[in-house]
A = this chain, B = another copy of it.
Amino acid sequence: MTARPYHHGGLRAALVTQAEATLRTSGIDGLSLRELARELGVSHGAPQRHFRDKAALLDALAIEGFGRLNEMLARAADVDDGHAFAWTLTDVAVAYVRFATEDPALLDLMFTHKHQADASDELKAAANAGLACVVAMVERGQARGDLVDGDPQSIAMVLFATLQGITSFANADIVDPQSLDELTTYAVELLLGGLTPHPDQSPINSTFIPALCEKRPDPAQS
């Protein structure tokens, strides 16, 4: 009975765990329901009782991934150790990029959206929960006076997007792992340069780039 614990209710969890491992080591192409079943000593029809689809299993993996991501994000964003805000932000950024870079196939699953409309809502909610941590950080920064005013949601989105892009490049071998942390830190510096209000200047959109506030030809057909 201890030898085959999957037969009395644990199969679903075992499938997810095993799938995660296979995904991490062999990528999405190395993941097949039949081999999963084989590895767990179960017939190839068994998984369907718990995941109607292969897509359903993949969705479960993505949701699991978001769970871990958000947990880590919340932990990283909650350290208010009295250090400069820039430090905290840099820490969160580096932590995120490392997480996302550790398991490229999982990250793909999380953000690639070849999901069924079914779990799509749950996934979108999970993604938004992650974003919410960053939004909260931004609001804290604004309250402190360390960040420009402006829609926290948008600011968080840009921050998060930059990290996501760096991750994407890292996973595509466009940046090498060696200089990954450095690039992440640099990105935060550049963004903070824009996000940090400066005593002698008004915020970006009124003084720094006045041109952008004037009416101008539609950039569409460029």
What is A's interface to B at a CB cutoff of 8 Å? 27-29, 75-76, 79, 83-84, 86-87, 90-92, 94-95, 104, 108, 111-114, 120, 124, 127-128, 131, 148, 154-155, 157-158, 160-169, 171-175, 183, 185-187, 189-196, 198, 200-201, 203-205, 208-209, 211-212, 216, 219-220, 222
Minimum CB–CB distance for A17 against chain B, Å? 23
B204–A201 CB distance below 8 A: no
Instruction: Report how many copies the assembly holds.
Output: 2
- Contact status A186-B154, CB under 8 Å: yes
Whether B196 contacts A209 by the Cβ 8 Å rule is yes
A208 pairs with B192, CB closer than 8 A = yes
Q: A157-B175, A162-B162 are in contact. List 16 more A-B contacts (CB 8 A).
A: A84-B209, A86-B209, A87-B211, A111-B168, A154-B183, A158-B187, A161-B168, A162-B187, A164-B164, A164-B168, A185-B212, A189-B209, A192-B204, A193-B208, A194-B195, A196-B208
Distance to closest chain B CB from A128 (angstroms): 7
With A87-B216, A192-B209 already in contact, the answer to whether A161 and B172 are too (CB < 8 A) is: no
**Residues of chain B within 8 A of A189, CB atoms compared:** 194, 204-205, 209, 212
